[in-house]
């Protein structure tokens, strides 16, 4: 009896080691298959510019208050405050050393759609790869090509300021295991091509849910609350509900929403404010058909009160 007890006791560390090893294997950074980024050809730079503004790259990767041509110098942005610490968006300019000018399309694409860094490390989801995961390989290629035409900057952003245990990147594998998916956020049946286009823009490059969907204590989206609004993830104020059940925009028409994204003015003649100012500036750069598609999607999704 004692012998069996001792064997069981000795076996516990082995079982623990196997469990940890299995967890690390399951949650290891996973790149896209190389074939995803092969044979895409020369990027369409005009379309890449549209993807650039749809993705809101300037909002995080340029210094706060940038205007005019300065919005195209992706030297790194203002600090992003969160309950987990302060994140600093990196330089993603065309610089070969400080930026991503020396990256391959596969390295850029894996960061965008899988949250895997150039050195094979997990990236923090303050970079919204959880949304960008839905982007097509063509759009990623066109975006990368456009970014490489923009001015280079040699600025180096500060390191993230994160307390333990959030400074342990291995833990991000567990976060991805719980929350990361490239499946649609909502199931739309019999949707028109316009609504499908809006779904792609909102759930993918537009990453609207990153602010407009409430999160749980680990920073994952709350189930059944897609675009339902909630506390500002940066800690100041609230982000509105933008579903058809919203008390603010629920009564807006598709035309009202599209106009707001273009002009920044509401049907009540109020103007855009807060962090939405930068978003609206980006949306204004898109083709009118894309703003209309976003509006159509926002009227088609389930209402959340």
Domain ranges of the chain: 34-179, 193-300
* Separation between Cα atoms, residue 175 and residue 219, nearest integer Å: 9
* Separation between Cα atoms, residue 237 and residue 148, nearest integer Å: 36
First to last CA, the chain: 61
Q: Is pLDDT of 15 > 60? A: no
Q: Is pLDDT of 256 > 90? A: yes
Contacts of 75 (CB under 8 A, 6+ apart): 61, 62, 63, 91, 93, 153, 155, 157
Q: Are 76 and 157 in contact (CB under 8 A)?
A: yes
pLDDT tens digits for range 283-297: 999 999 999 999 999
Residue (of 144, 141, 261) closest to 198 by Cα position: 261
pLDDT class of 30 with cuts at 50, 70, 90? confident
* Separation between Cα atoms, residue 152 and residue 144, nearest integer Å: 14
pLDDT at 198: 98
pLDDT at 275: 84
Q: Does domain 193-300 have CATH number 1.10.760?
A: yes
pLDDT at 16: 52
pLDDT tens digits for range 227-249: 999 887 766 788 999 999 998 89
* Separation between Cα atoms, residue 31 and residue 40, nearest integer Å: 18
Give how far the C-alpha of residue 1 lies from the chain's centroid of Cα atoms, to the nearest Å. Answer: 57
Q: Is pLDDT of 12 > 70? A: no
Written as one string, the DSSP assignment of 233-245 is TTSSSEE---STT
pLDDT at 64: 82
* Separation between Cα atoms, residue 80 and residue 252, nearest integer Å: 31
pLDDT tens digits for range 31-82: 999 999 999 999 999 999 999 999 999 999 998 888 888 899 999 988 899 9
Q: Is pLDDT of 90 > 90? A: yes
Q: Is pLDDT of 108 > 60? A: yes
pLDDT tens digits for range 155-178: 999 999 999 999 999 999 999 999
């Amino acid at each position: 009896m004692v012998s069996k007890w001792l064997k069981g006791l000795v076996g516990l560390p082995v079982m623990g080691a196997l469990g940890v090893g299995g967890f690390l294997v399951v949650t290891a950074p996973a790149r896209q298959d190389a074939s995803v980024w092969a044979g895409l050809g020369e990027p369409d730079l005009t379309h890449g510019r549209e993807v650039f503004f749809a993705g809101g790259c300037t909002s995080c990767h340029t210094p706060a208050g940038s205007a005019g041509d300065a919005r195209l110098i992706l030297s790194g942005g203002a600090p992003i405050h969160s309950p987990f610490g302060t994140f600093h968006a990196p330089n993603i300019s065309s610089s070969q050393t400080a930026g991503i000018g020396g990256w391959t399309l596969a390295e850029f694409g894996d960061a965008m759609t899988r949250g895997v860094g150039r050195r094979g490390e997990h990236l923090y989801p303050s970079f919204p790869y959880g949304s960008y995961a839905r982007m097509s390989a063509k759009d990623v290629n066109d975006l990368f090509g456009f970014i490489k035409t923009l001015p280079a900057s040699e600025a180096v952003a500060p390191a993230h300021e994160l307390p333990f245990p959030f400074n342990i990147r291995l833990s991000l594998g567990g976060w991805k295991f719980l929350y990361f998916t490239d499946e649609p956020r909502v199931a739309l049946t019999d949707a028109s091509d316009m609504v499908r286009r809006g779904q792609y823009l909102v759930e993918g490059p537009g990453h609207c849910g990153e602010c407009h969907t409430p999160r749980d204590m680990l920073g994952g989206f709350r189930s059944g609350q897609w675009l339902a609004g909630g506390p500002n993830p940066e800690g100041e104020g609230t982000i509105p509900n933008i579903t058809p059940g919203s008390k603010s925009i629920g009564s807006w028409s598709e035309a009202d929403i599209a106009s707001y994204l273009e002009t920044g003015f509401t049907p009540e003649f109020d103007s855009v404010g807060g962090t939405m100012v930068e978003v609206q500036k980006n949306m204004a750069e898109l083709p009118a058909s894309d703003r209309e598609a976003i509006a159509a999607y926002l009227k088609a999704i389930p209402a959340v009160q």
